[in-house]
Amino acid sequence: MYKKNAWEQYDEAELAKVEAFAAKYKAYLDAGKTERECVTEAVKLAEAAGFIDLDKVIREGGKLEAGARVYRNWMGKDIMLFIVGSKPMQEGMNILGAHIDSPRIDVKQNPLYEDEGIAYLDTHYYGGIKKYQWVTIPLAMHGVICKKDGSTVTIAIGEDENDPVFYISDLLIHLAADQMSATAAKVIEGEALNLIIGSQPLKGEEKEAVKANVLKLLKDKYDVEEEDFISAELEIVPAGKSRDVGFDRALIAGYGHDDRVCAYPSMAAVLDFEGTPEYTLCAVLTDKEEIGSVGATGMSAKYFENTVAELYNSVHGYCALGVTRTLQNSRMLSSDVSAGYDPNFAGVFEKKNAAIVGKGVCFNKFTGSRGKSGSNDANPEYIAQIRAILDEANVDWQTAELGKVDVGGGGTIAYICANYGMNCIDCGIAVLSMHAPWEMISKADLYEGYKCYCAFLKGAKAF
Ligand code: MN
Ligand code: MN
């Protein structure tokens, strides 16, 4: 149903399903605070759902038949799930895509210092953040430290209630006259995002005794040295679990809804698919969207195309033209969060074309900024097919743009996948306070997103 409030159509049985799906999503969100953790969780869920590792199939030179369920873990930061269809792959796949990296604060390569009895880690933020939102809140540290001997230490500190947390200080209001008159971009500057990690000196140590104590603790607990920060990837994120919001518990506040609120239901729709589909089904959860889909794990890398080629080889035997046709003839929902209409900031939205929280999954014909620059502009022929699928499956959905014309804008992975010539449209779930430490979404929108993805996997067809 187009532009209806989703909550109004639920009976008791459906409400129970909305709540049950939200509970599974929150568990995923709490377990996956980084792209790596999201992939680790996804592998567990995939294996529990009978998916096998495509790399194992490749190593053994195995063959896959219609109905085969496989996943591929790429560098521990991307995951792709496939169910092989009964039609030849050349007729295109039904693909769900979303990203699992989220805005955060990364630790620098040479981070550790001491200043007047406090030990800090120097940081460089990742993605677009309002830096002033990340001070004076409990922060957790997640990531890996890779050592020269080839071993990797996995870090997750600050989530258990008995764990310590980390903290970035702000200036007290009493002395903040100058700061309060600065523009919001300057209130907290990037180089002021210094993470407090200790303040107790090592007994008997004369120089930089607090830093020495921290290094001793790191050595004792994790067997790492100061130089090991050089080959670490440590991500600082808000500490704690996602929480229901409101007397009615209809919303969820959580870290990293952008874009795990699309990634989780995309993955779940493939995991929950029963039997053999007509077309090959795929969910791709990717890294590095927030900084431009760069690097070996970003959507601009060839890992997805290469994996489709491997899958094609395992199903049909390798054929370069077959892989080209598979990608070109595919249909994709490229999901990323939409800016939810916020009555507190009504001025930046154009209400007829804004995503309203509670009105279901949101479709964006285009994104981008300043005359649709940088966007994927979906074909209306394809949009018409999707409208039919959504209405047939009784999905609540809406359409939106990211704010008023020329107010701002943003990009997604859609244009990258569209480079293959496949039909691709941006869609996703409305978020309030996008890129804040705690973002907010509606449980109804999450559930309608899941229904949408399930209907798309079953219903999308080659033109
Ligand atoms: Mn984002
Ligand atoms: Mn996003």
Q: What is the DSSP secondary-structure string of 341-356? A: --GGGGGG--GGGSBP
Residues 6+ apart with CB under 8 A from 81: 42, 46, 51, 69, 70, 71, 267, 270, 271, 282, 283
Buried b (16+ CB within 10 A) or exposed e, 428-444: bbbbbbbbbbbbbbbbb
CATH 2.30.250.10 positions along the chain are 104-238
H or E, element range at 397: strand 397-399
Q: Which pLDDT score is estimated for 368? A: 75
* CB-based contact 164:157 (threshold 8 Å): yes
Residues paired with residue 205 on neighbouring β-strands, in sequence order: none
Q: 421: closest CA among 305, 313, 296, 311?
A: 305
306 C-alpha to ligand 2 centroid (Å)? 24
Q: What does the mean pLDDT of the chain come to?
A: 96
* CB-based contact 48:18 (threshold 8 Å): no
Q: Which pLDDT score is estimated for 64? A: 98
pTM equals 0.97
Return the DSSP state at 134. Answer: G
97 C-alpha to ligand 2 centroid (Å)? 11
104 C-alpha to ligand 1 centroid (Å)? 11
409 C-alpha to ligand 2 centroid (Å)? 12
368 C-alpha to ligand 2 centroid (Å)? 13
Q: Which fold has domain 6-102+255-459?
A: Aminopeptidase (3.40.630)
CATH 3.40.630.10 positions along the chain are 6-102+255-459
* Helix extents (H) in 246-352: 257-271, 303-316, 320-328
H or E, element range at 143: strand 139-146
184 C-alpha to ligand 2 centroid (Å)? 22
Judged by DSSP in three states, 82 sits in: strand
150 C-alpha to ligand 1 centroid (Å)? 33
> Cα dihedral sign for 406, 410, 413, 416?
positive
Q: Which two tokens stand for residue 301?
A: 């890398």
Judged by DSSP in three states, 47 sits in: helix
314 C-alpha to ligand 1 centroid (Å)? 35
Judged by DSSP in three states, 283 sits in: strand
Q: Which pLDDT score is estimated for 404? A: 83
- Per-residue CA distances from 236 to 117, 142, 219, 299, 380 (Å): 22, 6, 20, 23, 42
User: What phi and psi values does residue 112 have, to the nearest 5 degrees?
Assistant: -85, 130
Q: Please give all residues whose CB falls under 5 A of ion ligand 1, grouped by chain where several chains appear.
A: 258
Of the ligands numbered here, which is closest to the C-alpha atom of 103? 1
* CB-based contact 447:17 (threshold 8 Å): yes
337 C-alpha to ligand 1 centroid (Å)? 7
Distance CA 43, CA 81 (A): 9
8 C-alpha to ligand 2 centroid (Å)? 28
Distance CA 363, CA 401 (A): 9
196 C-alpha to ligand 2 centroid (Å)? 29
List the Cα angle 156/134/446 in 5-degree steps: 75
129 C-alpha to ligand 1 centroid (Å)? 9
* Helix extents (H) in 272-412: 303-316, 320-328, 380-392
* CB-based contact 448:19 (threshold 8 Å): no
Of the ligands numbered here, which is closest to the C-alpha atom of 259? 2
411 C-alpha to ligand 2 centroid (Å)? 8
Report residues of the chain scoring pLDDT below 70.
Answer: none
Distance CA 98, CA 285 (A): 5
256 C-alpha to ligand 1 centroid (Å)? 9
Q: Which two tokens stand for residue 15?
A: 């409400």
Q: Which pLDDT score is estimated for 412? A: 87
332 C-alpha to ligand 2 centroid (Å)? 16
104-115, strands of its sheet edge to edge:
152-157, 139-146, 232-238, 104-115, 118-126, 195-198
248 C-alpha to ligand 1 centroid (Å)? 27
The residue type found at 131 is K
Residue count of the chain, please give it. Answer: 463
CATH number for the segment(s) 104-238: 2.30.250.10
336 C-alpha to ligand 1 centroid (Å)? 8
438 C-alpha to ligand 1 centroid (Å)? 13
217 C-alpha to ligand 2 centroid (Å)? 36
* CB-based contact 255:438 (threshold 8 Å): yes
110 C-alpha to ligand 2 centroid (Å)? 29
Rg for the chain, CA atoms, rounded: 23
Of the ligands numbered here, which is closest to the C-alpha atom of 429? 2
Distance CA 156, CA 145 (A): 11
336 C-alpha to ligand 2 centroid (Å)? 5
Residues 6+ apart with CB under 8 A from 300: 292, 293, 294, 416
Q: Which pLDDT score is estimated for 3? A: 85
